[in-house]
Amino acid sequence: MTRIDFHIHVADRLGYACRLTRKVVTAGQRLVVVGEAASLREFDQQLWTFSALEFVPHCALDDALAPHTPVLLASTLDDAGTAPHYQVLLNLGGAVPPQFARFERVLEVVGRDPQELADARERYRFYRDRGYTLNNYDQRS
């Protein structure tokens, strides 16, 4: 069954997501990132710049290199169902990704914005009510 990890109250949501992505790739796993197109464009830019000494290989899900790239960006939630791998799903969107159960693990990164937190509570209830294993990592400082 899919494991769900909530990282909540994150001050720099996309920077934190970049570090999580690096950690997943360093562990030898593959990752699909879903979210709204604008958020993914910003995330893509941050992946290029968040660390001066490291590069996290990534591309769009529909890119020809997708089968060979450890991090794929999917701008529509349904696209995650066509990914060439199903290890880790990073959700940067506000809704439950329709294809999340295909993945071994889901990472939910939630900022401090009240609407983000409210959306995350809805997703948490959705997963909990269906019996998924939930882990919480509160980043409040």
Q: pLDDT band for position 79 (50/70/90)?
A: low
Whole-number pLDDT of residue 84 = 83
The CA-atom distances, in angstroms, between 35 and each of 32, 41, 64, 74, 79 are: 10, 10, 20, 7, 11
Task: Specify the pTM.
Answer: 0.93
8 A C-beta contact, residue 107 and residue 5:
yes
Whole-number pLDDT of residue 54 = 84
Kindly report the average pLDDT of the chain as a whole number.
92
Say which amino acid occupies 46.
Q
CA gap 90, 109 in Å, rounded = 8
Stronger pLDDT, 124 or 86, i.e. the higher one? 124
Q: Which CATH number fits domain 3-138: 3.40.50.620, 1.10.760.10, 3.40.50.10110, 1.10.3720.10?
A: 3.40.50.10110
Q: Under the phi-then-psi rule, with left for phi > 0, alpha for psi from -120 to 50, and beta for the rest, what region is 9?
A: left
